[in-house]
Chain A
Amino acid sequence: MNIPANLHYTKDHEWIKVEENNIAVVGITEHAQKELGDIVYVEIESIGESLDQNAVFGTVEAVKTVADLFLPVAGKVLEVNADLSGEPALVNSSPYEKGWLIRLELANTEDLQALLTAEGYKELIHA
């Protein structure tokens, strides 16, 4: 199971990566995409919204199931990965790279410290 060391993780199987200053990228983990199966579309209509930690910022629909997407930390949704509208399966094939979900402006960068490390996430999923 691929769990990159440089990311922060949540118990809801999202990852977050700081790009610069207070801007971060959010996606779902390899484990999450595997549990969901073939992803058919990603619905994110929260662009421009400032949301609290754990707020639902979108939904991911797989063939067999549907799951809410939870914001790892408080912030403003700046951008949705435009490639996903044409190729939602990128979330399956490249969950940490091409299949990223949103770009987020963090409300407080220190919030990240409360999230799981790669090691902690690995333990959570018994990988």
Chain B
Amino acid sequence: MKYVPLNDLHIALGGKMVEFAGYNMPVRYSSDKEEHLTVRNGVGVFDVSHMGEFMLTGAKALELIQHVISNDASKLFDGKALYAYLPNNEGGVVDDLLVYRIHAEKYMLVVNASNIEKDWAWISQHNTVGAEMKNVSEDMCLFAVQGPKAIEAMQALTAINLGEMPYYTFQIAEFAGVQDIIISATGYTGSGGFELYVPNEYAEKVWQAIFEAGKEYGIKPIGLGARDTLRLEKGFMLYGNDIDDHTSPLEAGLGWVTKFTKPFINSEYLKSQKEAGVQRKLVAFKMNELAIPRSHYAILDAEGNKIGEVTSGTMSPSLEVGIGMGYVPLAHATEGAQIFIEIRQKKIAATVSKAPLV
């Protein structure tokens, strides 16, 4: 088991620690619901230092990135990030990730904790052009300060005008008295805010400064439990649940980050799949009555035939209904379609809904 640098601090804050992707992580501090609503209505902070970061540098860095990712990184400019995935050769997905352009010959890739080793091996294997690669995952903490009050609460800690930063841009600046912090207007909650990439040696100082500045805004530490319910309400997919080595990115709705403007790994196959059209799609749904869908529950049609499986499910703390995602045949993939979830041998009705659900 691995430990994030602030592990002891999370325990002291009352965090219930669980193993996630090989790391000892806080799943909740007080209550999943309360933490969820804190981020939706105020401001909360996640320590997501388990996430992986790779630095790709040199004249060949962009060429390597363009070869391994689905999206078009040539459209990036300094201080701009994009979302993409790493396609494999079998029509599936190695991982989903963010690509940050620091400058024309320096990029940061942010990958899922569960896939750090797999992604590193995959990208290294395809690095035939000689880009310089460095895995800095163990050197860096990542704090996500999220919620509608995040800008106001954090403004005192930096001279950068946080309110003027467009979504998916970043700046490298002084934050909480520490130089060269990557301040990124990104997140996985759909409630706005920032993600801060902090060198380990300044992690505690920055964390404490965040809580000091956020005190009057009711800032709270937020666990991975609420992170999951927050992302699911917005229809953001989670690698390992909703997409994996065997799922088609086009079925998952990742067509918008699949750019055939340039060749990339398996792009010819994906292009033909796009032209032929997919047979099933990842959809979001809401339960019609009080019931909670969970991963791997069967999705049924009106006659009771199994048409798919739930990939993610939870109670939505904002809507107070069960919500989920899963792959269903095209005929059932339209908004308003009635599907059924098998819960303890019962067939419970659900409605296919357009994400975000909140």
Residues of A at under 8 Å CB distance from B?
A: 34-35, 37-38, 40-41, 43, 59, 61-64, 66, 92
Say whether B290 contacts A63, CB under 8 Å.
no
| Distance in Å: Cβ of A84 to nearest Cβ of chain B | 12
Chain A nearest Cβ from B37, distance in angstroms: 11
Q: Closest residue to B316 on the A side, CB-wise?
A: A63
Question: In the complex the two chains form, what is the Cα distance from A40 to B36 in whole Å?
Answer: 14
Q: Contact check, B229 vs A59: say whether CB atoms are below 8 A apart.
A: no
Query: Which residue on B lies nearest to A34, using beta carbons?
Result: B16
A35→B32 CA distance, assembly (Å): 11
Q: Which A-chain residue is minimally distant from B224 (CB atoms)?
A: A64
Interchain pairs with CB closer than 8 A, number: 37
Question: Does any Cβ of A come within 8 Å of B315's Cβ?
Answer: yes
Point out the residues of chain B lying under 8 angstroms from A92, CB to CB: 31
Q: Are the CB atoms of A40 and B344 closer together than 8 Å?
A: no
- B: number of interface residues (CB 8 Å): 18
Q: Which of A37, A41, A59, A61 contacts B225 (CB 8 A)?
A: A37
Cβ-closest 4 pairs across A and B = A63-B32, A38-B33, A40-B315, A63-B315
Q: A63-B229, A66-B294 are in contact. Are A37 and B314 (CB under 8 A)?
A: no
Nearest neighbor of A43 in chain B, beta-carbon distance: B344
Bound together, the chains give a CA A60 to CA B38 distance in angstroms of 25
Q: Report if B292 contacts A (CB, 8 A).
A: yes
B315, A61: Cβ atoms under 8 Å?
A: yes
| Cβ–Cβ contact A38 & B31, under 8 A | yes
CA gap between A43 and B346 in the complex, in Å: 13
With A61-B315, A63-B229, A64-B228 as contacts: A40 and B31 at CB distance below 8 Å:
no
Instruction: Assess whether B317 is interfacial by the CB under 8 Å rule.
Output: yes
* Contact indicator per residue, chain B 308-344, by CB within 8 Å of chain A (1) or not (0): 0000001101000000000000000000000000001
